[in-house]
Structure 1
Amino acid sequence: MDSTTIKHRTSNETYTFNTPAADSSIELLNEFYWTKDTEPHVTRRKLILAKYPEVTKLTGHEPSSKWYASGVVLLQFAVAYYLRNTPVFSAKFIALAYVIGATANQALFLAIHELSHNLFFRKPFHNKIFAIFANLPIGIPYSASFQPYHQLHHKFLGDEYLDTDLPTRVEGLFLSNVFGKVFFACCQIFFYALRPMFITQIKFTYIHLLNIAVQVAVDYLMVSSWGWHTLSYFIMSSFLAGSLHPCAGHFIAEHYVLNENNKPRNANIVEGSNIGKLPEETYSYYGSLNKLTWNVGYHNEHHDFPYIAWSKLPQLRKIAAEFYDPLPQVNSWCGVIWWFCFNDINTLWNRVKRVGKQKHGHKVTQRLDMN
């Protein structure tokens, strides 16, 4: 370890601490990147708008999105019908669920992501209703809960209680070995679905009730008419979409600090903050899989301007290239899954966290504007 003396950014007090190498033991590195700094996206947004005020013209919904999403929904129902008499654990069933089903349902997860920002229609209510429709091939009701949790992720990025995209300390302790990371990568969908309810409570609304009622009704009608294999196709597609699938790499790629971006941590945390230069906490990917995932790879751009639709994010990057080109990028989502699982310096601790706005141990009821 190297002994380092630095000055605290805010208090101007001087601290000396030991800095382990990035490839030190897991036990030494098992801490998040804590910071008291504000998240970077608000600052960059202000700078971009000051230099390129025309960026505001890119905001707003994308009318063509509803047709693309509708096509994916119809495709999934068509494949489910085609497989209605095919054994669930046959090679044919699993192959179609992985190649078509998982890719399609990942696209629907991200269509619901776009809808959570009201980017399909002008009126928020229309986005909520269409999200319930886009939810149908996922098999379980999900869209109504996703929106408020995702709003919290944007408003309180890195907050240990309000940003439920962050792994918990329990996950970091038990899943930061090779077996644990492989398990996490295989079952990401369960972590993202179940983690929020253990951390932050949201208000149950009529949209949640409608989401549940419509999903249960459609599932029942489909099973009654076509059999259980059709619903099994939807569920398997959803699981594989959040597992070891190329498109699922975005879940890890977006905010985990991986490989050469993983800076040495402080052995001693001063006042809950890792002093020194933090790594970037959001990473963009500009590869071909964006064509299947509503350009979710443009993730710095999305967090900077969450009300610019997927179709205009490349244009934003082109306009403000000098802001985005210097940022570290992810070149492969498949590579991300591999590096995350099998590179020892990559663990569930590799996230930037901020001290929560709620007292430790208290659940939060966050009331958001649902109109």
Structure 2
Amino acid sequence: MAKLTSFRWSEDPEPHKARTKEIIQNHPEIRSLIGRNPYTFLVILLCVGIQIALSYFLKDVSWWIVFIVAYLVGAFACHTLYVCVHECSHNLVFKNRTLNTIASLIANLPQVFPSSISFTKYHLKHHSFQGVEAVDADMPFRWEAKLINNAPVGKALWLLFYPVFQALRPLRLTKEISIFDKWTVLNWIIQIVFMGAIVYFFGAKATVYLVASFFFSIGLHPLGARWVQEHFLTHGDQETKSYYGPLNTVNLNVGYHNEHHDFPSVPWNKLPKIRKFAGNYYNTLGYHTSYTVLLFQFLFSKDISIYSRMARDNRGKKKGDKVKKGTAAAATEEE
């Protein structure tokens, strides 16, 4: 396969809205799954408690133990908290939006860096405008894709420092989304106070444990393959893939990504039922069953690079529809 030099482009809008409409017509029972799961808050408290407790118990051990525990335990607790922040962003924990925001701030605590409020703002745009570079923070920068491309070492470094790349992407969205607001400032203050307390009372090893857990949880780790699984083009032009493997048990069914994009109002504990009700749609789609296999496939396959993403300018019009001047979509097409 020739070396990719650009994203693959589509003239159609994101693919989930049309499929959702069709599925709900043929399987109206899926409406019964829409709701919230307040027990997710107990998962948040459990994982936050685990990370704080491990930080305390690791403060006087050897450095190699710190990193081993971070890789084998902390990464999973952190990733689960990441999923909980995701649930809060969709208001799938409590009915009250403010309570969801507060829950996300608590889940963010062991993740070191203030990100829960920003994630909520950018993630909802990702659902509405998947693949639109100007709005979708999940899309890599073009310079990011060119810099890394498909060299194994480059892709390994990309995963290792994925949080850094992810933190830079919102800079591309400043025309569409305000970076700072009162909740974002509060997020920063809470994280600074929390991490200051960890440094002061538990010391350097506890702090490094939390930092390492965070980077492993979404970086160079089998869990990091989730970013490849979700929207990289590993199955032809299919933009979104699900993961049906054992780590869904630990990480709150985060692998059911097609199901989530089709029905973002269904909480994590009911996502498998979507596939059960509408298996005729999901069983025919490409999917993954092993994050470890996918991690090595991503690192060493020359057919997969950071360019292996579907991009679009179309924000919601079907191919052939006329776009009125003055709309955001028209502005994008005219640039």
TM-score, length of structure 2 as denominator length:
0.90
1:327-338 equivalences under 5 Å are 327-338=285-296
Fraction of identical pairs, as percent: 36
Displacement of 1:58 after TM fit? 0.6
Match of 2:106 in 1: 133
Displacement of 1:359 after TM fit? 4.6
Q: 2:157 aligns with which of 174, 183, 186?
A: 183
Displacement of 1:343 after TM fit? 0.8
Q: C-alpha distance in 1, partners of 2:303/2:157?
A: 17
Q: C-alpha distance in 2, partners of 1:92/1:143?
A: 29
Opposite residue 189 of structure 1, the aligned amino acid is: P
Checking the alignment, whether the CA contact within 8 Å between 1:36 and 1:354 is kept in structure 2 is yes
Match of 1:313 in 2: 271
Displacement of 1:54 after TM fit? 2.0
> Quick check: 1:241 aligned with 2:222?
no
Match of 2:323 in 1: none
Q: C-alpha distance in 1, partners of 2:167/2:77?
A: 18
Q: 2:84 aligns with which of 103, 108, 111?
A: 111
Opposite residue 241 of structure 1, the aligned amino acid is: S
Match of 1:99 in 2: 72
Deviation per CA, 1:25-62: give whole Å up to 9, x if none: x1xx3221101112211011101111122211111111
Match of 2:166 in 1: 192
> Quick check: 1:303 aligned with 2:244?
no
RMSD: 1.8
More helix by share: 2
Checking the alignment, whether the CA contact within 8 Å between 1:164 and 1:200 is kept in structure 2 is no
Displacement of 1:194 after TM fit? 2.1
Structure 1 segments unaligned to the other structure (5+ residues): 1-22, 263-278, 363-371
What SS class does the counterpart of residue 254 from structure 1 fall into?
A: helix
1:139-218 equivalences under 5 Å are 139-178=112-151, 179-200=153-174, 202-203=177-178, 204-218=180-194
Q: 2:17 aligns with which of 42, 51, 56?
A: 42
Displacement of 1:115 after TM fit? 0.8
Match of 2:208 in 1: 232
Opposite residue 139 of structure 2, the aligned amino acid is: L
Number of residue-to-residue matches in the alignment? 317
Moved more, 236-245 or 225-234: 225-234
Q: C-alpha distance in 1, partners of 2:332/2:275?
A: 38
Moved more, 248-257 or 348-357: 348-357
Match of 1:121 in 2: 94
Checking the alignment, whether the CA contact within 8 Å between 1:185 and 1:341 is kept in structure 2 is no
More strand by share: 1
Deviation per CA, 1:300-326: give whole Å up to 9, x if none: 000000110000000111001111111
Choose 1 or 2 for highest CA Rg.
1
> Quick check: 1:326 aligned with 2:284?
yes
Displacement of 1:231 after TM fit? 2.0
Match of 1:253 in 2: 229
TM-score, length of structure 1 as denominator length:
0.82
Q: C-alpha distance in 1, partners of 2:137/2:214?
A: 20
Displacement of 1:197 after TM fit? 2.2
